[in-house]
Amino acid sequence: MKLRFVLPVLTATALFSSAAQAYDPDWKRGRIYYRSVCTSCHVASPIGQINPSSKTKAEWAAYVKADKHEKGKNTVKQFASKDYRASIKAANKAAEKFADVPDQELLEDVTLFLQRGAKDGEAPASCS
């Protein structure tokens, strides 16, 4: 009798713990998106290209946390959103490739790439 009660509880616990695991960001996917989407837009703007190595890890973390892009005109999250990717996918293959990636996952991927490629990161990166 006890076994009939314990087994369902253990099964439910196992399912819940696997579903509750956090997403493990992919810096390589973040690099592709940043270089293909973010850099292509910045090169065309008066601001120009912004390399990950232009800021420290702390500066990138503060930037993403503040969620203000273009001096507060837009949010950072907007540029990782499915809506934004859909709006540029005709002209940007990376936006089309990542069209179905959840917004938060893509934002975490880009953030990890920025952290890794920061001035004081493990692999300072330029986007040329």
Domain tally, the chain: 1
Q: How many helices (H) and strands (E) does the chain have?
A: 7, 0
Q: Note the pTM of the prediction, 2 decimals.
A: 0.78
At a CB cut-off of 8 Å and minimum separation 6, what does 32 contact? 94, 97
In a domain, 125, yes or no: no
Closest CA to 51 of 114, 2, 121: 114
pLDDT at position 22 = 87
pLDDT at position 98 = 96
Strand partners, 69: 74
In a domain, 16, yes or no: no
Phi, psi of 127 (to 5 degrees): -120, 35
List, as own/partner pairs, every contact residues 71-77 make where C-beta atoms lie below 8 angstroms and the sequence separation is at least 24, other chains included: 76/107, 77/103, 77/107
In a domain, 4, yes or no: no
**R_g over Cα of the chain:** 19
pLDDT along the chain (128 residues), means of 10: 48 49 92 92 78 94 93 92 96 94 97 96 77
In a domain, 20, yes or no: no
pLDDT at position 8 = 47
In a domain, 109, yes or no: yes
In a domain, 30, yes or no: yes
Closest CA to 64 of 80, 86, 51: 80
Helix (H, G, I), strand (E, B) or coil at 74: strand
Domain holding 42, by residue range, is 25-117
